[in-house]
Structure formats: C-alpha cells, structure tokens
Amino acid sequence: MFEMVEQLSVKPDLTRSQMLEAFGPSLEFEKQLGLFTTFKTGGPAKFFLKVKSAQEASVALKTAKRLNLPFFLIGGGSNLLISDYGIDGIVVKVDVRGLKIIDQTNILCGAGEDLMALINFAAVNGLTGLEFASGIWGTVGGAIFGNAGAYGGEIKDVTREITLVDITGNIKKVDRDYCKFTYRGSNLKQTREIVIDTFFELKKGDKIKIRERIDEILTIRSTKHPIEGKSAGSFFKNIPDPTQPYGKLPAGKLLDEVGCKGLSVGGAQVYEKHANIIVNTGTATSSDIRKLADLMKQRVLDKLGILLEEEVIQLGQF
C-alpha cells in the first residue's frame, strides 16, 4: 500500500529535538525503507513514524502540514518501488491492528493487518467472500486503496464501510460508493486519504469448502509466483477485455509473447515462471528494477503496439 498524502514545496530546517517534540518519541531518523517493501530495495526516510490508530494518524498528518513537511504513507509495501535515494520527508507506516466479528457475518479489520490474516480469520469463523484474495501480499489498507483482486473477485465486492483520515486530519466513516472503486484503483488515490479500518460484509459458509478454495488458490499461485523471492507480484496491470476469462487480458501473456522471461538488469530479473513478475535476486537496486520494467514495457509496445500500465507504485526520484 502507498499513498502520498501531501507533498509540500517548503521544507523545514528542524533539529532532531524539535522533530521529536513535534511527533513524539516514536519518531525515527534515516530509517531504511527497504525493510518495509517486498522488493527489499530503496533508500532511507529522513523521518519515519508508525501510527496505530486513527487519532495517531490524524495528529501526524496535522503536524506534518503545520511544519510544511512532505508526508508519505506506506502499508505492507507489497506494491511499492521506492527510490534508492530515499524520501526527504516523513514516511508514516499504518500499523492499525484488530479483527472483530460484527453481527455474526461481518468483520471489522484494522488497515495494518495482513490481507491473509483477514482471509484466515474469516475462514476459521466460517465466513465466505474473501477466498479470491488468497495469496495476495500486503495489508488490508493497501487492498482497499488499490482494490486488490484476483480470480474474478475484487475487494470492493465485500467492502461496506471504511474509516478514513482526510488530508486535513479529520476522521470520518464512508461507504463503499465513496471510494469509486476501479480496476486496481480507487478514488482514494485522488483524495489522498488514509485507510484506518474497514467493515467487510461476508456470508456464512462451509468451513471445509472455504478452506479448500483457499488452499486451491494458494496452490495455483505457488506454481506461478515466487514463494520466498523478493518481488512485488505483478508489475503491470492486466488489460480490460470482455472476451478473456475474468474480463482481463493478462499482461503476463503479452510479456511472455515478446520474450521477457529471464531478462535481467543488474540484480533484477523477470521470473522464469511468470513474465509479469520482477524478482530481486539478491543484489538489485530500485534503479535496476525500474530499468528492467522499462525494457519490458518497451518490448510490448514495439512488438505488439500495446502500452502497459504499471500496477506497482513508484515513490521518490528515479
């Protein structure tokens, strides 16, 4: 998950003690952001802060605006490529936790929870509707922000209500329609609001069948996706096409057709089992990954006349 809440042109010249006084003792300095992305690349954040509630997020945002400090938000870092130069501002990681059954068939979930934790929690409680997302990396907040989906399902299908913090620091609850969900996107990318928690509307189901479907999808993914590799999953969005299964032409199919499997730049390599996945083989920089993605994109454009759109979000200077 990623959200740029505010990027201001005036940067303060504040001392360490002044920053600690403004944001509190949990503020960290020169934090390596590669620790928080699945690519495991990227430079440091000048300032770094975890928030565990809507109130903490609100205070952090208001303080950053008051100090004219560029403010960036990250979640699970599973769909994010951060510049090797790092971020000259404050990076806030949403760490709002909690899973709770509401009215027997619904779940209230903190944005900082792993998506698979939510799926497993639903399965244990015999609630169906989230199985499609099995194996998708990242946090629940990121899933809402980017309308995560697979196998014909999208997170918007089971979303009822969301708690947000807007760019002025106000806390509010909104319904699904407010987000204007699209394929791998939502209006939150424009409003730049922070997801705090989400109310999911599910249905009662058979626990055994739910678990079987989860395991089935995980098995399918294991044949195409790196299990332990440093990757962000699919780098490019699939292309809307009603003639295709689930209404999408897989970008991986196009990338495979133009011979992208095995391509490499520095320590970045296209996964041998899936042409739309870039893996950090151990020594890649964010620059390597970006250059490889550009090469892949250009091949598809030159040979097939199709311009791919990135699913992975890029943050910082490249």
- Among residues 184, 192, 211, 221, the one annotated as catalytic is 184
pLDDT (tens digit, 9 = 90+) per residue, 159-205?
999 999 998 899 999 999 999 999 888 999 888 899 999 999 999 99
pLDDT for position 245: 83
DSSP for 56-118, written as a single string: HHHHHHHHHHHTT--EEEESS-TTEEE-TT-EEEEEEEE----EEEETTTEEEEETTSBHHHH
Q: Give catalytic status of residue 290 as yes or no.
A: no
Per-residue burial over 80-112, b = 16 or more CB atoms within 10 Å of its CB, e = otherwise: bbbbbebbebbbbbbbbeebeeeeebbbbbbbb
Nearest to 188 by CA among 175, 178, 198: 178
Q: Give catalytic status of residue 311 as yes or no.
A: yes
pLDDT for position 244: 87
Q: Give catalytic status of residue 184 as yes or no.
A: yes
The whole-model pTM stands at 0.87
pLDDT for position 28: 97
CATH class of the region 99-208? alpha beta
pLDDT for position 149: 92
Tokens of 234: 């699919």
**DSSP code, position 299:** H
Q: Which residues pair with 149 in a beta bridge?
A: 154
pLDDT (tens digit, 9 = 90+) per residue, 121-150?
999 999 999 999 999 988 999 999 999 998
- Among residues 234, 286, 290, 299, the one annotated as catalytic is 234
- Among residues 56, 154, 193, 311, the one annotated as catalytic is 311
| Domain spans, the chain | 2-94, 99-208, 227-315
Intervals of the chain under pLDDT 50 = 1-10
CATH class of the region 227-315? alpha beta
pLDDT for position 225: 83
Separation of alpha carbons 204 and 127, rounded Å: 5
CATH code at 2-94? 3.30.43.10
